[in-house]
Amino acid sequence: MRVSSMPETGTTVSNPVIPGFYPDPSICRAGEDYYLACSSFEYFPGVPILHSRDLVHWTQIGNALDRPSQLRLPLDSPSSGGIYAPTLRHHDGRFWLIVTNVSSDGNLLFTATDPAGPWSEPIKLPGVPGIDPDLAWDGEGNCWCTVAGVGQVRLDPHTGETLGPDRRIWSGTPGAKAPEAPHLYRIGDYWYLLIAEGGTERCHGVSIARGRTPDGPFEPCPANPILTHRGTEHPIQNTGHADLVQGPDGSWWMVLLGVRPGGGTPGWHVLGRETFLAPVDWVDGWPVVGELSLEAPAPPWPLQPGAATPVRDDFDLSELAPHWLSLRDRPAEACTTKERPGWLTLGARGASLDDTDVTFVGRRQQHLSCRVRTLIDTAAGSGGLAVRLDEQHHYDIEAVDGEVRVRARIGPLDSVVASRPTPSGPVALRVEAVPLPVTDARTGPDTIVMGIEEQDGTFVELASLDGRYLSTEVAGGFTGRVIGMFASAGSVHFDWYDYEPLGR
């Protein structure tokens, strides 16, 4: 039997629906509203929460973990540590979020009546092993927590107490590594167990099994993996870590992570793992994933664009908007818009982006082509603008000691590649990401251009750097580029920050 939810509108929308470093999406619906949570790793605040009315246009409405008491990230915790793979669910009139903090507290559970916040203090889950925890409730009120592996334990979500031992319920496809990101659903007569496997690199995929009870036994889908782009030249790669949601019209949809590699061989992705959308059909009791492409079929309902992330921030508000990220924490004495009204003031801790405790405030690079500018006053310190992947992979343009310097940190190599004297007073710093056409197998994905703007608006380029060295394929890890402001000594002030998309 075939139950179709494939859209027939003939229109398309751009994929990814949430571009940039928004990985490991988990989605739920409450009425006609959709809410989505993503991993945040070493960044504070943690677990971005996004809202949509149409599955296509998403607005970040907050961060679930926005208080130090909720999110403990030691200053020496490594990049790509921290917060892994949340599951977001709406049940019994509340929103539930379960997540792993691999850098300190293990598995944690939070609740909220409003997904925009505030979220509760954490309920610790010492009896829940592993990572990638999921929550599902059966008709008798039992709460089942399934984790990467794939193991499962019953849980009292109000206290965090586990009810009985954990047990293995499925191991995924024989020969496929890393069965992870489990999500359990009751759909019709079956319980479906959706997982990712193959690792989160080019072999990533989505597989599914079903059983009559939430704890199995489970039979695998004969068509597994139901989604993968491994071994293809598809522009979307590393497809996996999916979650399912049903629309109010009865249609089914999948959100998942993927990457957009650029350049020649082997291909480099620089924005991190992004959130994509695909329709889902049901054939003989199994989900069949529809077209997943950069121009995706539009849902069969009116699209309702949400509020876009502002291009420019003049720092006129008392608190930073939810899309701003810091590293591991954000103490008020190191980051404030209240000291100098209309300016962001950063107080130095670490001396450079090499240090895990550097004072840094940035936003995700969400477009392959973009321009970022900021006006910095270094009369009482030094700092600048950086394109960051981790402590060992970043490009910086820094105003210090009467000059502007461009510095490249690539693994063990560290060099000032250009410098220029600057007049006294604030200086406008500029960074551009410029995608490159592929001319041979060695072509990198893009060029990072760094320089300053003169008072008359003239751009003075100081350096043009190969973007491949700020990619996951070079640096490793699980994050994407974040472009932001930093302080390296004393206090520095930023009058505004401007992020201008120049393409997709």
Cβ atoms of 372 and 431 within 8 Å: the answer is: yes
Residue tagged active-site, from 180, 274, 313, 390: 180
The yes-or-no answer on residue 453 being catalytic is no
Shortest CA distance to 125 belongs to which of 162, 173, 178, 92? 162
325-360 as b/e, with b when 16 or more CB fall inside 10 Å? Answer: bbbbbbeeebbbbeeeeebbbbbbbbebbebbbbbb
Q: Is 254 left (phi over 0), alpha (psi -120 to 50) or beta?
A: beta
Strand pairing of 2-3 and 43-44? unpaired
Name the helix (H) or strand (E) containing 453.
Answer: strand 446-453
Q: How far is CA 178 from the centre of its chain?
A: 20
β-partners of residue 459 are 453
> Rounded distance, CA 223 to CA 207, Å?
8
How many CB atoms sit inside 10 A of residue 380's CB? 12
The yes-or-no answer on residue 398 being catalytic is no
> Rounded distance, CA 384 to CA 378, Å?
9
Number of helical (H) and strand (E) elements in the chain, helices listed first: 1, 39
> Rounded distance, CA 248 to CA 299, Å?
12
> Rounded distance, CA 84 to CA 465, Å?
31
Residue 105 in tokens: 């507290």
> Rounded distance, CA 183 to CA 47, Å?
18
Cβ atoms of 461 and 449 within 8 Å: the answer is: yes
Cis peptide bond N-terminal to 341, omega within 30: no
Place of tokens 């929460």: 49
Q: What is the DSSP letter of 10?
A: -
Q: Is 246 helix (H, G, I), strand (E, B) or coil?
A: strand
Strand pairing of 94-101 and 83-91? antiparallel
Residue positions annotated with a catalytic role = 24, 180
